[in-house]
């Protein structure tokens, strides 16, 4: 989640470019919000225990983007890490050893359960009749952060920002149960469709404290690949890949049929539990700004510094995800404009 006020394809947990907190009660000035989160972090967690999170939040609040060429970048330009949501000290490894994690081994051991359930669901009509946000694309959210994705790239969500979809999890109960019972440290889970003959250009997802995991569900083996940094691998049915999408990565499906994977965002294994807790607190505060009221700095009292803020239309919890995103984007724009005046 590019932690600060950032944007994102509908599936991402990161608050990345375009992915903004809900503004149900109107948005406080950005400068006040950044200060309140900093104060809240120090009040709720041991400052020394979350020093990396505090540094990350300060850098994100200042608009800093971590953009570093990795060793070997002279020969392979994709060996580059770009992140505006950046925790220092996490190793930038293109592909992690997936088998080293018990939850990955559990997912692979029961991948056939997910594959069978997925094929049964998409061959029937239940998903279309009552599914929530079925095969959402990026056509309504085109910006710099999504330009690498083709217009037909689609997702079907099960979990978003740690919250399980009440409708889709009932349509895919076995997959949901496996994710929960395996201890998978996911903050986001969804099926991802990559159409036949399509590709995704080199890009970064802008966040280094989450890794991405793909489990092959319906893959035309030998005809589709993923490259992260200088390493290229092929998807395999029933097998998992764990990789760092803060590094430049690209993909292609060269087959004549679509490719489906179960896609997960998981916490980076080098984070300490208290750091994960602090990051979760930030996300909750961005989603529910009222949690920050006790930490907000007092308003200026000098008349010459008082600025009348324009009203911000609250984002209602109803409507489709695309409608809520569009409303949030408009609210964010108004709030940032007001914040510049207020600060």
| The domain made up of 95-267 is a member of CATH 3.40.50.300 | no
Q: Are 19 and 138 in contact (CB under 8 A)?
A: no
Angle at 241 between CA 17 and CA 280, to 5 degrees: 45
Residue scoring higher pLDDT (238 or 294):
238
Mean pLDDT throughout 144-159? 71
Using the structure block, give the residue that is written with the tokens 């080199």: 202
Q: What is the pLDDT of residue 12?
A: 33
In this predicted model, what pLDDT tens digit does every residue of 210-235 receive, in sequence order? 999 999 999 999 999 999 999 999 99
Mean pLDDT throughout 268-285? 95
Q: Are 188 and 264 in contact (CB under 8 A)?
A: yes
Q: Are 107 and 182 in contact (CB under 8 A)?
A: yes
Residue scoring higher pLDDT (188 or 133):
188
Q: Are 22 and 215 in contact (CB under 8 A)?
A: no
Q: Are 209 and 92 in contact (CB under 8 A)?
A: no
Sheet with 95-96: list strands edge to edge.
95-96, 240-243, 210-218, 259-267, 186-194, 154-160, 163-164
Res 18 pLDDT > 50 = no
Using the structure block, give the residue that is written with the tokens 């008082």: 306
Mean of the per-residue pLDDT values of the chain:
82
- Residue ranges with strand state E in 127-194: 154-160, 163-164, 186-194
Res 332 pLDDT > 70 = no
Res 14 pLDDT > 70 = no
Domain ranges across the chain: 30-89+272-342, 95-267
Q: Are 53 and 278 in contact (CB under 8 A)?
A: yes
**Can you tell me the distance from the alpha carbon of 155 to that of 306, in angstroms, rounded to the nearest whole number?**
45
- Segment 125-129 long-range contacts (CB within 8 Å, at least 24 positions apart): 126/171, 127/156, 127/171
Q: Are 318 and 54 in contact (CB under 8 A)?
A: no
Res 11 pLDDT > 50 = no
Q: What is the pLDDT of residue 296?
A: 84
Mean pLDDT throughout 250-258? 97
Going by DSSP bridges, is the β-strand pair 95-96/210-218 parallel, antiparallel, or unpaired? Answer: unpaired
Task: Name 214's bridge partners.
Answer: 241, 263
Mean pLDDT throughout 126-145? 73
Residues 6+ apart with CB under 8 A from 111: 215, 216, 217, 237, 238, 239, 240
In this predicted model, what pLDDT tens digit does every residue of 34-81 receive, in sequence order? 899 999 999 999 899 999 999 999 999 889 999 999 999 999 999 999
């Amino acid at each position: 989640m590019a932690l600060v006020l950032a944007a994102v394809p509908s599936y991402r947990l990161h608050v990345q470019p375009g992915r903004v907190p809900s503004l149900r009660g109107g948005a406080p000035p950005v400068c006040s919000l950044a200060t309140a989160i900093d104060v809240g972090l120090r009040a709720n967690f041991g400052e020394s225990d979350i020093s990396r999170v505090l540094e990350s939040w300060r850098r994100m609040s200042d608009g800093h983007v971590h953009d570093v060429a990795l060793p070997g970048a002279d020969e392979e330009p994709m060996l580059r890490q770009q992140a505006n949501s950046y925790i220092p000290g996490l190793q930038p490894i293109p592909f992690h050893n997936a088998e080293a994690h018990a939850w990955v081994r559990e997912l692979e051991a029961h991948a056939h359960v997910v594959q069978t359930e997925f094929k049964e669901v998409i061959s029937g009509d239940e998903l279309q009749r009552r599914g929530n946000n079925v095969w959402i694309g990026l056509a309504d959210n085109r910006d710099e952060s999504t330009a690498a994705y083709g217009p037909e790239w689609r997702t079907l969500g099960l979990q978003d920002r740690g919250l399980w979809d009440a409708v889709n999890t009932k349509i895919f109960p076995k997959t949901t149960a496996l994710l929960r019972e395996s201890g998978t440290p996911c903050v986001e889970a969804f099926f991802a469709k990559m159409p036949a003959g399509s590709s995704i250009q080199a890009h970064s997802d802008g966040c280094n404290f989450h890794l991405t995991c793909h489990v092959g569900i319906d893959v035309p083996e030998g005809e589709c690949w993923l490259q992260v940094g200088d390493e290229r691998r092929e998807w395999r049915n029933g097998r998992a890949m764990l990789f760092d999408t803060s590094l430049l990565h690209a993909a292609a499906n060269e087959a004549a049929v679509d490719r489906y994977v179960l896609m997960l965002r998981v916490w980076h294994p080098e984070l300490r539990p208290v750091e994960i807790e602090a990051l979760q607190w930030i996300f909750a505060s961005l989603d529910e700004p009222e949690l920050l009221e006790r930490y907000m700095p007092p308003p200026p009292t000098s008349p010459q510094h008082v600025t009348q803020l324009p009203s911000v239309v609250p984002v209602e919890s109803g409507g489709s995800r695309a409608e809520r995103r569009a409303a949030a984007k408009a609210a964010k724009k108004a709030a940032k404009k007001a914040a510049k005046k207020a600060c």
